Amino acid sequence: MSLMTDRKRVIGLGTAKSGTDHFWKSTVTAVALLVIVPMFLFSFGPLLGEPYADVQAALARPFPAVSAALMLIVGLYHFRLGIQVVIEDYVQGPARKIAIIVAACLSYGLMALGLVSLAQIAL
C-alpha cells in the first residue's frame, strides 16, 4: 500500500495521462451546443436560397455572424473530440494514429475555412 491517497494517484493520470479531460471537454461543448445549435439553425436556415446581396447583408449583422462562428468553432471541436473516440474504438495500430491526425486536420481545416469565409463576408 502506498501512502498516497486515491485522489492524489489519479490526478492528471489515466492511461492517456490526461485524466477525464477529453470526456469533460466533450461534455462542456455538448452543453454549449444545446444553445448554439438552435441559434445557428434559425439564423442560417432562412438564408439558404436567398439572393447573394441579402446573404452578404445578413452575415454582416452580429447575431447571424456570431451564431455561425460559434457553430463552426464549438461544433467542429466537438466533432474532433467525438470522432477520436470513434476511431479509438474501431481502428487499431498505426492506422489509428494516422486516422486521428487526419480527422483533426479535417476538423480544424473546415473550421478555419468557414471562419475565414465568414470574416471576409462579415468584416
* Binding region for other proteins (CB under 8 A): 6, 9, 27, 30-31, 33-34, 37, 41-42, 44-46, 48-49, 52, 55-56, 59, 68, 72, 75-76, 79, 82-83, 86, 106, 110, 113-114, 116-118, 120-121
When the beta carbons of 66 and 121 are compared against other proteins, the nearer one is: 121
User: Minimum CB separation from other proteins for residue 97, in Å?
Assistant: 19
Q: Distance of CA 97 to CAs 17, 19, 94, 100, Å?
A: 17, 19, 5, 5
* Joined grid coordinates for residue 69: 462562428
80, 26 Cβ separation under 8 angstroms:
no
46, 67 Cβ separation under 8 angstroms:
no
When the beta carbons of 31 and 98 are compared against other proteins, the nearer one is: 31
User: Minimum CB separation from other proteins for residue 83, in Å?
Assistant: 7
Q: Which amino acid is at 108?
A: Y
User: Minimum CB separation from other proteins for residue 93, in Å?
Assistant: 20
User: Minimum CB separation from other proteins for residue 33, in Å?
Assistant: 7
When the beta carbons of 60 and 98 are compared against other proteins, the nearer one is: 60
State in Å, rounded, how far the first CA of the chain is from the last one: 62
Distance CA 65, CA 69 (A): 6
